[in-house]
Amino acid sequence: MVAQLATNFPDSLDVLSNPNGTSSLSNPSHAQQHSNTNDAIEALQTKVGIDGSLDPNSIDYRVTALEDGGGQLGVELGLAGNNDVTISGIENKTAVDTFSKALYSTVRYTLQIKKSNLFISDQIEIINDGTDLHVNRYEISSNTNDSLYTLQLEENAGIINLSVTPTSGSITARYYRTALKS
């Protein structure tokens, strides 16, 4: 049996009595006042999440998903004319983006890889049926016959990583993502 919390949060705001020195200890009882407050604090902690939370409903998880690892917003939400992220100086396998398998059923990327004056532009569609990821790469355009990178999709604890590995030297990855929730 799951314990029922004496809080309405996060579905609605609680109305908690704020006792003073002359308040009766019977309505609610002193113990019930503490119980209600503790339940409200626990609900807030669950909603906010711990540092590094893997709960896709927590605020910590959602804020982390917006950050590019340097503490700055990775997605400009159209403020600069497009929704893209650039990662420069990639020399080893690097996760360029992550998303929650539980949150999204369809994810599309436009990925551009640049090495010096060589470019490859790639469209990637990922369909998540809840069990497997189905990947379709299409509309690959390039000004070179050289392979500049390999693409990997990996799952770890319900988080999908889109990674690139340069075939040699250093590359720059630029992408934008659109996604449909499950």
Q: pLDDT tens for residues 92-151?
A: 999 998 888 888 999 999 999 999 999 999 999 999 998 899 999 999 999 999 999 999
Q: Is the pLDDT of residue 80 over 60?
A: no
Per the structure, how many domains does the chain have?
1
Residue 5: what pLDDT? 55
**What pLDDT band is residue 83 in, cutting at 50, 70 and 90?**
low
Is 116 a member of any domain? yes
Residue 85: what pLDDT? 84
Is 127 a member of any domain? yes
- In whole angstroms, give the CA distance from residue 72 to residue 85: 11
CATH code: domain of residue 142: 2.60.40.1680
Q: Is the pLDDT of residue 155 over 50?
A: yes
| 80-91: average pLDDT | 75
DSSP letters, 32-95, are HHHHHHHHHHHHHHHHH--TT---TTSHHHHHHHHB-SSSSBS--TTTTSS--EEEEEE-S-EE
Residue 150: what pLDDT? 96
Q: Is the pLDDT of residue 74 over 70?
A: no
Give the residue numbers spanning the domain of 153: 84-181
Each residue of 4-23: pLDDT tens digit?
A: 556 776 677 777 777 777 77
Is 122 a member of any domain? yes
Is 62 a member of any domain? no
Is 68 a member of any domain? no
Residue 156: what pLDDT? 87
30, containing H or E segment = helix 30-48
61 versus 10: the higher-pLDDT residue is 61
Is 113 a member of any domain? yes
> CA dist 172 to 87, 116, 134, 146, Å?
6, 9, 26, 15
| 44-51: average pLDDT | 83
**What pLDDT band is residue 72 in, cutting at 50, 70 and 90?**
very low
pTM over 0.85: no
Is 167 a member of any domain? yes
Is 168 a member of any domain? yes
Q: Is the pLDDT of residue 46 over 90?
A: no
